[in-house]
Amino acid sequence: MLQSTDEFAPRLLLAHRIAELPGAKVVDIDNNGGPFTVQVYLTPGAEKNAGASSDRLFAQISHDGIVVNGLQNSDKHQVLSRGWGKLRKRAVVLYMPRNLQELEICWEILQRAFYRLSESGENASLPVFVADFPRPLPLSLH
């Protein structure tokens, strides 16, 4: 289990991976002293500005989770039925990873959504792993 000093390590690693996705543009949103939010857009070309009308909102990261757009219904079902997130309108709110094992599952879920949203672009031919997501393990409360 991660020590308290490592509590945010999986979240920081996940944020770094998301920012490195091809065509990802990150926009920081200041909620006037409220919880800080980060929106991640998929941009068709590097010359576009994040948030432009041609950009597609891929994820919105806040203190209560990651709103993920682009998952197929079968993937949404797995995320919800296996306890990795909850439904909010048409998107899934993915719970933040608590450890490195959960980080890998969250990353796989985000990759599926990313490739789905960008399937008409250069990433269309990249394979996506389609096995079931495992259930998250409860952390012991020592």
Residue 68 — pLDDT band, cuts 50, 70, 90? very high
Structure-block tokens of residue 114: 């990313």
Number of helices (H) and strands (E), helices first, in the chain?
3, 6
Q: Give the pLDDT band of residue 116 (cuts 50, 70, 90).
A: confident
What is the CA 111 to chain-centroid distance, rounded? 8
pLDDT of residue 142 exceeding 50, the answer is no
pTM beyond 0.85: no
Three-state DSSP class for 5? helix
**Domain boundary assignment for the chain:** 4-117
Give the integer Cα–Cα distance in Å for 132 and 25: 29
Nearest to 100 by CA among 59, 142, 136: 136
Q: What percent of the chain has pLDDT over 90?
A: 16
Hey, CA dihedral for 135, 17, 119, 28, is it positive or negative? positive
**50-66 pLDDT per residue, tens:** 444 578 888 988 888 99
